[in-house]
Amino acid sequence: MTILITGGAGFIGSHLVRHLVKTYPHYTIVNLDALTYAANLARLDDVKDAPNYQFVEGNINDSSVVENVFQSHSIDAVIHLAAESHVDRSIEGPMPFANTNIIGTMTLLNACRTHWGKESNHRFYHISTDEVYGSLGKEGVFTEQSPYQPRSPYAASKASADHMVRAYGETYGLPYVISNCSNNYGPDQHSEKLIPTLIHSLQQNKALPIYGDGSNIRDWLYVEDHIAAMDLIFHKGVLGETYLIGGRCERSNLAVATSICRAYDTHTGQADGTAEKLITFVPDRPGHDYRYAIDPHKLESTLGWSPQTNWEVGIQKTISSYLDKI
């Protein structure tokens, strides 16, 4: 089987590529990535020379690039992660999000339709986000039946891509499966995200910026737990279905910062409470969703997945991965 992974030099994508290359040596893994600012091929140095791995630099918006990949590599399946994914950047400039997340997804879907026809032995696995469901109050959780209510340009672009994948499935018989995940964290995440931002600021003894009063809540998922879920969904997920992947680990942004500060103090041997003094509240961003929380019961009950990495262990692993690079 030859699997095309888009965005394989990104944070989640690189973890997935490494996992598939090492776990399934009989698969050929083709990594298509445009190598924009958040990508880093160095993340894959340990598999770059593997006989079952190939890298192609190119943009999913470019139909000629995508067509060439499908023709040259006889793609059997696609795992689509390539996306613009930073909410703040989408607020500052939404067009790149529409171009990559919507048009890029359609370019891939069209290639699949052209090369696969109505053959059922293929699979388009689309990776999405819980942000498509909007914002929760203090109660409730997202499920696969939750209505779409995106509130940022990023979330709207991902919601559009989700709908387009389903539309190609209904209209053209494209064999697809979708998953929506909660906030990922772990080693090698780009510095624009919350947890790496806090760790890098601590390393430089700079203020730790927290939006508003820090009460906004996210459900945190360790990246390796996400990869395990994706493996199951790709191989055993029912075509036409959607699966939500959550860590069952709700934390406010302030609680996240406090946990990181305490773990950092312990890791570096400095006095307890030293890092927390750097926490600084900054003006909230426009349309900041209050709370996300996923109920992954469907995935747990049908495919047997559950998150294996608790918050304390995951944060220690994450901090260690950054500090070990100094």
Instruction: Please identify which of the residues 53, 125, 133, 154 carries the catalytic annotation.
Output: 154
Phi, psi torsion values for 54, nearest 5 degrees: -140, 140
| CA pair distance 239, 163, nearest whole angstrom | 15
Q: What is the pLDDT of residue 86?
A: 79
Q: What is the pLDDT of residue 326?
A: 53
Query: In terms of DSSP bridges, do strands 217-222 and 250-252 run parallel, antiparallel, or are they unpaired?
Result: antiparallel
Backbone angle region of 35, left / alpha / beta, with phi > 0 → left and psi within -120 to 50 → alpha = left
Active site residue 125: no
Where do the domains of the chain lie? 2-186+220-248
What DSSP character marks residue 294?
B
| CA pair distance 213, 140, nearest whole angstrom | 22
Instruction: Please identify which of the residues 33, 84, 131, 289 carries the catalytic annotation.
Output: 131
Instruction: Please identify which of the residues 33, 84, 125, 130 carries the catalytic annotation.
Output: 130
Q: What is the pLDDT of residue 198?
A: 95
Q: pLDDT 10s digit of each residue in the chain, 326 long?
A: 999 999 999 999 999 999 999 999 999 999 999 999 888 999 999 999 999 999 999 999 999 999 999 999 999 999 999 998 878 788 889 999 999 999 999 999 999 999 998 777 899 999 999 999 999 999 999 999 999 999 999 999 999 999 999 999 999 999 999 999 999 999 998 888 899 999 999 999 999 999 999 999 999 999 999 999 999 999 999 999 999 999 999 999 999 999 999 999 998 999 999 999 999 999 998 888 999 999 999 999 999 999 999 999 999 999 998 887 65
> Is-contact 32 69, C-beta < 8 A?
yes
Active site residue 139: no
- Name the CATH superfamily housing domain 2-186+220-248: NAD(P)-binding Rossmann-like Domain (3.40.50.720)
Active site residue 131: yes
CA dihedral (276, 281, 286, 291) positive or negative: positive
From the list 255, 229, 256, the residue with the least C-alpha distance to 319 is 256
Q: What is the pLDDT of residue 33?
A: 97
From the list 217, 203, 216, the residue with the least C-alpha distance to 278 is 203
